[in-house]
Structure 1
């Protein structure tokens, strides 16, 4: 039975307890939305101040060389690589998840001539499906959707690419990456994994699974800030064949030669497009440093312990609320999702109490667990607040039903 003394005892014994102090967390707030936007690392403001005042303000354009701005995409990518089981030269930080999806879907189609089908599942994160649809509208792709249980059967000789999100953004259910990658390869297809809800929270072994391609976002568990640059992975064996469609000057073999004709850079650098956003990359670098410093084994262990504690606590305080995340903690991401027809209003009532989770249409309340800074006491307080909100019916207040632009 979960209780407050147990939560405090678990926090006292938590080997990661000191890391929480490296994040800016407002007093009196229980933050369970790090799966949407990670908390601000305390070092980020000072790092950005240094970049702005010294590197930009004093160094001016010289800082592309003197502060080595030009290598930031590769440096940050190399720091992310061990978090997702990749080699440093296989990951680069650039653009957004959506843009990287477009680049890698198009590249995969080019590597499988004669095949046009991109296979995914209904209910995948919208941008993944929208990017397939955009290429389909250009006559370059054909979108095919199959339920999870039917994905392997849908892999036929027409499929060029299997595109899946490793951890489902609504339910937290995790795909078996190794099994599905192997099945796609057996069918002659490539695989592109979206790691946006995985990187920095759950174990990922791209190399061990023989994954081909992957993307991920920098502003969730990597704490890079709102709209932080994303990252992209391409297995080394595909580097020479990779033809990315957005042939911007930074992906050129010699961008400062300023030639009229495009020639791709070698290796992962060819995934670059435009000028790197230095301030955003510097912020992401600070977040990634923290997560890399903790290490995935410790993060995973705590994530699973937090989610099990929270699941047990909510089963006591809100026993009628159905959890739609997998029961097995090894089969889900670092979140718990609950279904209720008034989930939006319940979420707003919790936020008014200082418990910040989020809502996903049409009826899902998500509670994310960022093991770098979430406490067991936070989980207990959230469970207590949820039970009180449901029992009191305070979510019925009209102000909690008014939909904001961002839900």
Structure 2
């Protein structure tokens, strides 16, 4: 035990990201639930107070122009872009992840069906009446995909991510996949799966909720068509902070949103009864932006200034490696089983442990100052946010887990 405590201290002393911890509101609790809700950046409360008291309270309606409210969805999208490997002008912030999944999947099907009719897709759209969805997906993604299938006259087929290449065919219009499995922390192979989808003439839609802000994504590099993600996990945007939608630049003229709103109109203040979509990423907007939470998110994203995502990934892997090592050293054999892949290429930024009476165990961990979460029926989840989690936290969490399990 003393050896691991000493190693944790050495690793923390050598950690180039350790100084970022001071930018968050933290206490003596080991917080390993940033994969559900990120910690509060210290810059946010004062920014929100300014938005409420000065921008809303004093400037009022003038803030749409003078405070930049109107352009916030694209401006903040450009701040997120480097964290997911995208050039500016391809991400718009707003709505929830669920709403953006719906926009993306329906738009992908519409583009696929339009290919062969003058579109720029990879193959003929004739007969493309199938949507593949990650069989292990977060439930809402599955619900949305099913609704999108009904709306577009498609058949929905749940498929395990590793089986997608063999499941693709001439009927496939769109494929909805999670970059990281929310239960196990397994990282799926975005480059090869995207390539397989494209070779089949279909469109790839990726859910980045459990990867953005924890590891490199490479949306532009790997030719991803459409992607969505939340901002309240590793991006620390706050509870219910708005999600984002990525539309690859060359697809933007063909992106046909199923939710056209006045904010995505080419002339939003013209109040025309006929819809004409805006150019570029703004055509992914719908209604009036949720300014309070959006500007809180903008303040939260300032902690990323000058932070390379590759360095974050390196620390994430080091943290999860060390946690698994400490668990193996402290927890009696047979009490827990790791569901998270040991291979770095297959691991996100969380560790999932199967354990009997996991719900009760997590409640006791939380009471002892180690906060993770529980997923039915028997999974303990621990999320590692490299911006504020240290190696001492990791060692302490494993030690408390061992004591809790007795």
Alignment match, 2:302: 289
Q: Write the mapping of 1:116-131 to structure 2, written as runs, cut at 5 A.
A: 116-131=129-144
Asked if 1 retains the 8 angstrom alpha-carbon contact of 2:132 and 2:176, the reply is yes
Q: Distance in 2 between matches of 1:21 and 1:273?
A: 37
Equivalent residue in structure 2 for 1:340, among 351, 355, 358: 355
Q: Name the CA distance, whole Å, in 1 between partners of 2:283 and 2:315.
A: 37
Q: Does 1:352 align with 2:401?
A: no
Specify the alignment match of 1:309 in structure 2.
322
Deviation (angstroms), 1:139: 5.2
Shift of 1:370: 0.2
| 2:339 corresponding residue in structure 1 | 324
Confirm or deny that 1:265 pairs with 2:278: yes
In the alignment, structure 1 residue 193 sits paired with structure 2 residue 206: yes
Deviation sequence 1:223-256 (CA, Å, 0-9, x none): 0000110011010110111100101110100111
Q: Assess if the C-alpha contact under 8 Å between 1:34 and 1:368 holds in 2.
A: yes
Q: Which runs of 5+ in 1 are unaligned?
A: 392-407
SS, match of residue 323 in structure 2 = helix
**What's the RMSD between the two structures over aligned residues?**
1.2
Q: 2:18 aligns to what? A: 17
Say whether residues 1:97 and 2:112 are aligned partners.
no
**Equivalent residue for 1:44?**
44
Q: TM (normalized to structure 2)?
A: 0.94
The question of whether the paired residues in 2 share the 8 Å contact of 1:98 and 1:131 is answered with yes
Question: What whole-Å deviation, never above 9, does each CA across 1:182-230 have from its counterpart, x for those lacking one?
Answer: 1111111100010000000011101111110000101000000001100
Deviation at 1:128, TM superposition (A): 1.0
Distance 2:56 2:247 in 1: 32
Q: Out of 278, 281, 289, which is 2:291 matched to? A: 278
Aligned counterpart, 1:362 = 377
| Aligned residue runs from structure 1 range 2-401, under 5 A | 3-26=4-27, 28-113=28-113, 114-138=127-151, 140-318=153-331, 319-320=333-334, 321-391=336-406
Q: How far off is 1:135 after superposition?
A: 2.1
Contact 2:265 2:277 in 1 (8 A): yes
- Cα distance in 2 between the residues matched to 1:261 and 1:145: 37
CA distance in structure 1 between the aligned counterparts of 2:161 and 2:307, rounded to whole angstroms: 33
CA distance in 2, matches of 1:353, 1:47: 33
